[in-house]
Amino acid sequence: YYFPCQRWLAVEEDDGQIVRELVPVDEAFVKKDSENDGQSLATLGLEQKAKSTTYTVKVKTGDKKNAGTDANVFITLYGSKDDTGIVSLKASKINKNKFERGKVDEFTVESVDIGDLKKIKIGHDNKGNSTGWFLEWVEIDAPSLGQCLKFPCGRWLDKSEDDGAVERIIFPAELQTTEYIPFVPYEITVYTSDIFGAGTDADVFIVLYGSDGICTQQKSLCLNKREQRMYFERNSVNQFIVELEDVGDIIEKIRIGHKGGGLNSGWHLDRVAIRRLLPNGK
């Protein structure tokens, strides 16, 4: 079995996760890539990412005295097919100091397909100076399912409050579930030209347009400034797996650009190749 990764396991890199679920790629794919070692490792990492589902997890700490916690918080998502295992919520996308009173924190959780979300377990390890935590709610956006689910809590996770539990199983509130058209993964390959000054460190984004006026949201291809510095160099080929709204079988046009700023924002783009990845990996 061959389990490629080619991703960071670091709080301050990529999506902030320090644990990853990996699925094996088939032997033919490994052989195909071993003949082309230049791109092989990166491509295998992308193949792995294409088989994963990304969830956006928002956590609201209550607005009560001593509601925030310094303990290490974890979550497990349970679906109709599988569960994510224990995921540490380490890197909030919004706040440097996470789980503070009255604040909402946002995290990315990546997992193999676990099916329809049924429940979650959330808790903490009770370590640190101020461990007690009042959890208001958890919201999970699952683009591949086309669902955003709200998990209300409104209780303490504290040894000395409520029932003394520091972890809870919570079910979604059906009336607060939002449904939309499920997202699909696209493989986007960007070719930067081979001329002087062609590369850019700016924030590059893309929008896809299908027939009948359907289009995706505007999506940045890089997750952070470090990736912006790494990618889109002169005469480079960069590949991304991006979950976006399904615009159908025909892509009529794309909109690609960057947000300017920085020392080297000017960019000479050669071409873009896009492949919609279907569930069977084709």
- pLDDT over threshold 70, residue 1: yes
Q: Over the stretch 187-203, which tens digit does the pLDDT of each residue have?
A: 899 999 999 999 999 99
In the chain, which ranges are E strands? 52-61, 73-79, 87-88, 104-112, 117-124, 133-142, 147-157, 167-170, 178-179, 183-192, 204-210, 219-220, 237-245, 251-258, 269-276
Q: pLDDT > 70: what percent of the chain?
A: 89
Count of CA atoms in the C-beta half-sphere (13 A) of 238: 22
State mean pLDDT over 37-49.
60
Q: What tokens appear for 185 in the block? A: 């993964």
Q: What is the architecture, at CATH level 2, of domain 2-38+182-276?
A: Sandwich (2.60)
Q: Where do runs of H (alpha helix) occur along 180-276?
A: 225-230
| Range list for CATH 2.60.60.20 in the chain | 2-38+182-276, 53-179
Q: Over the stretch 52-65, which tens digit does the pLDDT of each residue have?
A: 788 999 999 999 99
Distance CA 201, CA 199 (A): 7
Entry pTM:
0.76
Residues paired with 273 in a beta bridge: 189
Residues paired with 186 in a beta bridge: 242, 276
pLDDT at 45: 62
Q: Residue 213: how many CB atoms within 10 A of its CB?
A: 7
Q: Which residue has the tokens 């919004």?
A: 94
- Topology (CATH) of 53-179: Lipoxygenase-1 (2.60.60)
